[in-house]
Amino acid sequence: MAIVLGDNRYGKAETRLVRVTRDGDTHRLADLNVSIALSGDLTATHVSGDNAGVLPTDTMKNTVYAFARRPGVGEPEEFALLLARHFVEAQPQITRATVGIEAYGWERLGPHSFRRKGDYVRTARVDHTADTTQVVSGLTDFVVLNSTDSEFHGFTRDRYTTLPETTDRILATAVDARWRHLGPDGAWAESFEGVKDAMVNAFVTTYSYSLQQTLFTMGSRVLEQRPEVAEIRLALPNKHHYLVDLSAFDLENPGEVFIAGDRPYGLIEGTVTRDDAPPAEVGWYL
């Protein structure tokens, strides 16, 4: 029996970076969490401990900080592309670089004063080889809620089903979205805002009969309005709200007082794709 090394990669995870750009008295802030993974001809270090082809992960961290100083950060996708291309071009033993970035938003309060925004986290991921480049943008923890215009009924029942049908419910979710771009070049800030706006508009204007239907509508709206997007994957946890029984207090509750459930929760996931989009190079939404 032969034992061989399978797929492998290594890198530096979660390098925290804050970059202050000083434009006179008015400053700009970039707050990033950068993760790097490299793969290629790394058999020797696994099999015999020969580290001749291993770039230290500490060097990857240092590269993040050095590149943040010059040429600078820019948009998350732009910075991820810069780093991924560098590692593949500079290290002959490396054939693929994957760079993932979480970007945390800050709201301006003054020329050099800011307040951390917690409504969502912007993400970017670049997979780069000598022959291909794949860019995936996204956001996480984007909480949205409709207080009506949502139903859920006509579902399958078995002996363990106790959920009542409803024709009026709160629909709330924390959107986790990833979308793959058709190419490695783009107006990243404009594209991000356009995708976010399309998802929000679809959520607001869709009368929902299921969270699955809402997911497909949100993804479809993005592809209809953003031609640079090849496909989008959405993960939508159903943030349940349960009507409180106030009868013990001789009070009616006409859909006004709810318990916000924590867990367990339903999780709806799906990908909406252009039928003519080129296939992804790697598992882009992992």
Which residue in 27, 45, 57, 241 is the catalytic one? 57
The two tokens of residue 204 are 């607001």
Helix (H/G/I), strand (E/B), else coil: 151: coil
- Catalytic residue list contains 273: no
CA distance 41 to 247: 69
Please name which of 14, 24, 33 lies closest in space to residue 73, comparing C-alpha atoms: 33
CA distance 159 to 190: 50
The two tokens of residue 141 are 């923890």
- Cβ–Cβ under 8 Å, residues 129 and 88: yes
Q: Nearest 5°: CA angle at 227, between 127 and 194?
A: 85
Which residue in 12, 128, 196, 239 is the catalytic one? 12
- Catalytic residue list contains 61: no
Which residue in 61, 181, 196, 240 is the catalytic one? 240
- Catalytic residue list contains 12: yes
Known catalytic residues are 12, 57, 240
